Amino acid sequence: MRDRFGSAFTASVSVLFFEAVIGAIVFYVWMETQEVPALGYNLFNIFFLFVMGLIGVAAGAVGAVLLSVVVVMPLVAVAGWLGRTVSGRDVWWWIPLLAAVGGTLPGLVSASMVPAGFPENVSSGLIGWFMGAAALGIPALVVRRLVLPDRPRVSGIAVFGRVALCGTLGVVVTGALAGIALYAGIGYEPPRLTAERLAGTWSDGNGGRITFTADGKVTADGVKTFGFDDDRHDAGQPCTGSGTWVHHRGDGPWSQNVGVSVDACDGSLGPWEVFGTPEHPKLYVLVGDPDAWDLYILEPDDQPREEPVRD
């Protein structure tokens, strides 16, 4: 195996790297399906994402090298030893068995990211386990094929070329499928609210409330106000008073908002943007600097609160 180590190691690193790229595309599509507010992008955000992308590529390459040294190559060696010891010969199916065991850790991590008691807790764990097992098993199977004594030797450059060709094809196909899925509407959109749906009392879960009436009147009771330079702990005096409100439907679900005017409020009281689901709509304003992605959220009083209460 030693004289074939170079090409096998190259194959492992290359396969892991392309797996990481494909995984990043899948993760992006998954993020687009999640319930998140429209936080928008400016030139700084775009530049930041570009820089983070470059850092991600470098980190992916380093991670592929480390995983190859620490996990994939030892996994192939252990699978070969188990095959010869238990089965009497080197058999391929020891690799997916060991990879399935190795996928337990990412499965547990995925499950731990979902609060206990939610159905997604189990499904998230199973998906994490499967992806972890596949991510380890595929490069290990490629390496095993290269190190078998009856296989012809292949140079590292040739191995890299083959993996790069197949990996690029996989990235292109995954990207195309992701684009089709997003174009077809798999991505998240906030619910389209009407003035009738907005009418009622909305609270922040911490004592602050806004009541919208059908005739365009609004009553605020202890609702926090924020300026651009404020953070959550530097909120102005809680706003209490009466005023008016209007629902701006906009051109689509992302452009709708609720304008609120209360003369007694010193700080900003909106406009309130919309996210959530049709069953559980939510209103929010950005707290302080928009780049901080901190939200002050109101939910209808007539439904169980989904967002955690924050001071």
| Angle between helices 73-82 and 120-147 in degrees, nearest 10 | 80
Of 27, 99, 31, 35, which is closest to residue 56 (Cα–Cα)?
Answer: 27
Closest CA to 147 of 238, 228, 44, 75: 75
**Which regions of the chain are under pLDDT 50?**
117
Residues 6+ apart with CB under 8 A from 309: 204, 205, 206
Q: How many CB atoms lie within 10 A of CB 236?
A: 15
Contact 265, 277 (CB under 8 A): no
Rg of the chain over Cα atoms, rounded to whole angstroms, equals: 27
Report the alpha-carbon distance of residue 99 to residue 131 in Å, rounded. 10
* Residue whose token pair is 């409020």: 265
What residues are paired with 217 via a beta bridge?
244
Q: CA separation (Å) from 187 to 180, 183, 192?
A: 11, 8, 15
What pTM does this model have?
0.78
Torsion on CA atoms 165, 129, 178, 29, rounded to nearest 10: -130
The number of beta carbons lying within 10 Å of the beta carbon of residue 50 is 10
In angstroms, the CA 235 to CA 229 distance is 10
pLDDT given for residue 201 in this prediction: 95
- Exposed, middle or buried, 302 (CB in 10 Å: 0-12/13-18/19+)? exposed
pLDDT at 151: 79
Give the model's pLDDT for residue 9: 92
- Domain positions in the chain are 2-183, 195-300
Cα separation, 18 vs 89, in Å, equals: 31
| Rounded Cα–Cα distance for residues 168 and 260 (Å) | 51
Mean of per-residue pLDDT scores for the chain: 83
pLDDT recorded at residue 127: 82
d(CA 252, CA 273): 12
Give the up-direction half-sphere exposure of residue 184: CA atoms within 13 A in the CB hemisphere: 8
pLDDT at 90: 82
